[in-house]
């Protein structure tokens, strides 16, 4: 993969407010589409207003679900126009995602135990 694509979160979401998982999902899908086209991604945080972890979990965290190796993501996904604070949030979302996907059945079972199994 040599060609690079710049994805601007602001353009994908259409606003500086990055708080919904649905909007995060849109960003995730754009990243995956670029990877499938054999393109590296520069993810731009330019014009960020509000940002929460739930958005980052959907946009970036789920990239760590096993479809891509950490080495692949490190080599092919870069972050531009990002503040140190936002980078810390991204890193936290990534670490949480790696922990979750490494033990997904246990995490899901624990969650069901906490909220109750609605299928009863």
CB-CB contact of 47 with 12 (8 Å): no
Q: What is the pTM of this model?
A: 0.86
pLDDT digits (tens, 9 = 90+) for 47-62: 999 999 999 999 999 9
**Structural domain range at position 72:** 4-115
Q: Which of 107, 79, 76 is nearest to 91 (CA)?
A: 79
Q: Give the pLDDT confidence score for residue 103 in this predicted structure.
A: 77
In a domain, 120, yes or no: no
In a domain, 79, yes or no: yes
- Total domains, the chain: 1
In a domain, 48, yes or no: yes
With a cut of 70, list the residues of the chain below it in pLDDT: 1-2, 104-114, 117-120
In a domain, 44, yes or no: yes
In a domain, 24, yes or no: yes
Percent of the chain with pLDDT over 90: 79
In a domain, 16, yes or no: yes
CA 95 to the chain's CA centroid = 11
In a domain, 71, yes or no: yes
CA distances from 62 to 3, 27, 29, 30, 101 (A): 23, 11, 10, 13, 9
What sections of 9-120 are H helices per DSSP?
Answer: 9-13, 21-36, 53-59, 70-76, 84-102, 104-115
In a domain, 53, yes or no: yes
């Amino acid at each position: 993969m040599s060609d690079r694509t710049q994805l601007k979160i602001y353009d994908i979401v259409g606003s500086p407010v990055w708080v919904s998982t649905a909007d995060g999902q849109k960003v995730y899908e754009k990243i995956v589409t670029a990877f499938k086209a054999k393109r590296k991604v520069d993810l731009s945080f330019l014009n960020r207003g509000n940002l929460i972890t739930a958005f980052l979990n959907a946009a970036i965290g789920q990239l760590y679900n096993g479809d891509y190796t950490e080495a692949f993501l490190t080599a092919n996904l870069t972050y531009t126009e990002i503040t140190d604070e936002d980078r810390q949030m991204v890193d936290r979302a990534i670490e949480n995602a790696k922990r979750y996907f490494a033990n997904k059945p246990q995490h899901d079972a624990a969650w069901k135990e906490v909220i109750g199994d609605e299928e009863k």
